[in-house]
A = this chain, B = another copy of it.
Amino acid sequence: MNPGIDHTLRGGWTLEGGKLPAHALRWLRTRTGLSEHPTPVAPDSVLVVPEPELGEAARADLVAVVGEEHVLLDRTARLGRAGGLSYVDLLRHRGCGQLAVPDAVVLPADPDEVLAVLKACAEHNVGVVPFGGGTSVVGGVSALRGDKPAVIALDLVRLNRLVSVDPVSRLAVLQAGVRAPEAERLLAAHGFTLGHFPQSFERATIGGFAATRSAGQASSGYGRFEDMVEGLRLATPVGELKLGVAPATAAGPGLKDLVVGSEGAFGVISEVTLRVRRAPTHRRYEGVFLDGWDRGHEAVRDLAQQRVLADVTRLSDAEETEISLALTGGLKSQALTGYLRARRVTDPCLLILGWEANSAAELAARRAATLRVLRAHKPVRLGKVLGEAWRHGRYNGPRQRDALLDAGVCVETLETATHWSQLSTLRSAVRGALLRSLPGAVVMCHVSHAYETGASLYFTVLVPRAAEDPIGQWQTAKSAACRAIAPLGTISHHHAVGTDHAPYLPGEVGELGVRVIESVKRELDPTGVLNPGKLLPVPPKG
């Protein structure tokens, strides 16, 4: 069996992560009234997993394509692809609510086998959930059946190759199942980097990044994932769509951008051609404090509009600044507070700035350009300590979340983006909606993706988990947040639509926009087997 296949994948980072430090737990008890109600991951044996419903004819045809050993019907393999990493998904793996478990896990070897699997599934009317790293936090990989009698998880883990590198054009062709760390390792051998570092980095895949319009922590420098996508291959039940012959084109409507973000509803992305950059030889990460949200977000706006953003530019609001310092406990926050007060910073907002470059001169020039613009916003610079601390902990969020769940905390994130003139209004609206829905909650916010015309907002919520209906507790709050977002910003800046945001898609792109998506889906997926219930809330009319 292929050694790359992780058959134990399930329920987040829990098994790898540690416990929450005692001081953090104390802080949570004081701040949120948390009492001790641990909710560990449930053992497999207590989870309800129905018998697989995949018909024998369908199974036989799938076996004919990928081989017997790559059609998995066992409980562990199926549980490992039962949903993603949303708080609700994690709760389900902890024994709350009902898991949606695929009837089988199918592991094609290459783009041609993906095509053949889709044809077989269309023929047998079997639903297909494309599965990469399984890190969706919006229900994008839930094994929903829709109106189909059975559904498979199409796991792309065997599509794990760097197909080719064009060092002159700085392009790399990667198969969809390559995980981000492996992609970086493969590219590093050629001196290149992708520069895509979302919080899901350790598990997420190239295909998943493309299918969901991922944006990494260094998006200010390297761009969103869609900016890196130069071409791709999309397997559909009616054939393969292959796009991307040039760095830019005026050859009609943008089909590449239509496939990016299609979340498995139009087909399965099997291969992606990506712009790469020379791996940086020089790095510098710094922490800066700005006084208050208004000054903070105006500083980031100024950097964006003068086009001198650092590659990583991340502004925490005062709540997030306070709490992340308290939770990590890595700093003598008393001393820091005194230092900042002496500099008349009463409402400190932490701004992380990170530059990556290929020479000391380049780094110095770019850093100087950023800091020159920043000066007008009265930054209190703290040197490299906080920057490096952030960099080393940049992927810890999911682990911390699992540890918080263990301790009985309801913890989840949500995000949006809007234009600068609406940013503070949107932040207040979402905060208000969350706090009304979850009294006593901690609501933190940061800007981690800035553009000339606007920015993203990323919220983290912490509140003691309700003993009764914990799923309902969060879903009520999330709905309130979405209703606050809808009139002011996008329903998702980089988490995608999945199931959770599907009800809000018509509000964002209009009734006619949904009809356009449906028309494309009908053309590429005429029997509607692809990722049922995602993106579009109901299957399109035939």
- A419-B247 contact given A254-B258, A512-B239, A512-B240, CB 8 Å threshold: yes
A188-217 CB contact bits vs B (8 Å, 1 = yes)? 000000000000000000000000111100
CA distance A209 to B92 in the complex (A): 50
Residues of chain B lying within 8 A (CB to CB) of residue A238: 512
> In the complex, what residue of chain B is closest to A240 when comparing beta carbons?
B512
Interchain CB contact under 8 A, A523 and B519: yes
Residues of chain B lying within 8 A (CB to CB) of residue A455: 247
Interchain CB contact under 8 A, B170 and A305: yes
CA distance A451 to B275 in the complex (A): 10
Residues of chain B lying within 8 A (CB to CB) of residue A365: 365, 369
Residues of chain B lying within 8 A (CB to CB) of residue A377: none
Q: Is A2 an interface residue (CB 8 A)?
A: no
Within 8 A of B (CB), among A435-456: 449, 451-456
Residues of chain B lying within 8 A (CB to CB) of residue A212: 250
Q: How far is the CB of A255 from chain B (nearest CB, A)?
A: 5
Q: Is A509 an interface residue (CB 8 A)?
A: yes
Contact of A517 among B252, B306, B418, B517 (CB under 8 A): B252
Interchain CB contact under 8 A, A493 and B258: no
Q: How far is the CB of A538 from chain B (nearest CB, A)?
A: 15
- A513-B453 contact given A419-B171, A419-B246, A519-B522, CB 8 Å threshold: no
CA distance A511 to B258 in the complex (A): 16
User: Which segment, of A44-52, A57-65, A80-88, A261-269, faces chain B?
Assistant: A261-269
Interchain CB contact under 8 A, A255 and B516: yes
- A252-B509 contact given A454-B169, A489-B245, CB 8 Å threshold: yes
Interchain CB contact under 8 A, A247 and B451: yes
Residues of chain B lying within 8 A (CB to CB) of residue A492: 249-251
User: Which segment, of A141-149, A390-398, A399-407, A495-503, faces chain B?
Assistant: A495-503
Residues of chain B lying within 8 A (CB to CB) of residue A254: 226, 254, 257-258, 260-261
CA distance A168 to B494 in the complex (A): 23
Interchain CB contact under 8 A, B240 and A517: no
Q: Is A236 an interface residue (CB 8 A)?
A: yes
Contact of A453 among B171, B422, B490, B520 (CB under 8 A): B171
Contact of A509 among B239, B251, B535 (CB under 8 A): B251
Residues of chain B lying within 8 A (CB to CB) of residue A517: 252-253, 255
Given A252-B496, A253-B258, list of 11 further CB < 8 A pairs?
Answer: A170-B452, A224-B248, A226-B254, A247-B454, A249-B492, A251-B509, A258-B258, A275-B452, A275-B453, A306-B362, A519-B520
A residues lining the B interface (CB < 8 Å): 166, 168-171, 212-215, 224, 226, 230, 236, 238-243, 245-263, 266, 275, 277-278, 301, 305-306, 358, 361-362, 365, 369, 372, 416-422, 449, 451-456, 489-497, 501, 504-505, 508-513, 515-520, 522-524, 535
